[in-house]
């Protein structure tokens, strides 16, 4: 925890930090929700996807798990 052990108890990790994603453990896809608008790009082989709030945008994001291509479906009237 960023403020541990000052503000909350934490277990000390001497050899590694479990909160840091190492290069060999990167995911194929990384989602971020409640974004202002839809955005996507690939950085070092990782597909980054900003998913907007459906309530505000009336859009959903569809991901092809094989090709990692992204499509936005709009339900706005």
Q: Could you report the per-residue pLDDT of 1-36, keeping only the tens digit for each? A: 567 667 777 777 788 887 788 888 889 999 999 999
Instruction: Give the side-chain half-sphere CA count within 13 A for 41.
Output: 3
pLDDT (tens digit, 9 = 90+) per residue, 39-49? 999 999 999 99
Q: What is the pLDDT of residue 76?
A: 81
Q: Average pLDDT, stretch 56-72?
A: 96
- Listed residue (40, 43, 44) closest to 69, CA to CA: 40
Q: What are phi and psi of 55, to 5 degrees?
A: -60, -40
What's the pTM?
0.73
Q: Average pLDDT, stretch 62-74?
A: 97
């Amino acid at each position: 925890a960023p403020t541990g052990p000052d503000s909350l108890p934490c277990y000390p990790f001497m050899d590694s930090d479990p909160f840091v994603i190492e290069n060999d453990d990167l995911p194929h896809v990384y989602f971020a929700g409640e974004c202002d608008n839809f955005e996507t790009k690939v950085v070092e082989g990782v597909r980054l996807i900003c998913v907007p709030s459906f309530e505000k945008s009336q859009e959903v994001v569809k991901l092809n798990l094989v090709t990692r291509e992204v499509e936005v479906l709009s339900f706005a009237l």
